[in-house]
Amino acid sequence: MYVVMNRIDVEPGKEAGFEASFGGSMNSTLGGVPGLLRSTLLKPARDGLPYVSTMEFTDKDAFMAWMRSDSFKASHSGPAEEQPAGNAVELYESLIDLAPNG
């Protein structure tokens, strides 16, 4: 599995708008993406921490194909005022995937 994590800084007071915009984009652009197993948006449990968006792909090739897709372009085409204050993308290959009750 290939995991993409995007840590997203959101300006205080703009959280609700970010959640609505980002969540709407996820719902409208990620359905049917080949190789995408799961995508999440995690809200920080404490003030001052970034939101985290995760995407789990079958492999790196599936992620790279998504990066070249119309879905990727659509998911990154919102108005400038709706864009987050900052972000950092991290890429990982899964070493251990344990689901003890799944």
Query: What are the tens digits of pLDDT across the range 23-45?
Result: 999 999 999 999 999 999 999 99
Confidence of residue 85 (pLDDT cuts 50, 70, 90): low
Q: What is the pLDDT of residues 52-83, one digit of tens each?
A: 999 999 999 999 999 999 888 887 776 655 55
Neighbours of 48 (CB within 10 A): 7
Given this model, what pLDDT does residue 75 score?
Answer: 79
DSSP for 14-48 reads -HHHHHHHHHHHHHHHSTT-TTEEEEEEE--SSTT
Q: Domain locations in the chain? A: 2-93
Question: Long-range CB contacts (< 8 A, 24+ apart) of 66-73?
Answer: 66/33, 66/34, 66/35, 66/36, 69/33, 71/29, 71/30, 71/33
Q: 2-93 architecture in CATH?
A: 2-Layer Sandwich (3.30)
Q: Could you tell me which residue, 84 or 59, shows the higher pLDDT? A: 59
Given this model, what pLDDT does residue 53 score?
Answer: 95
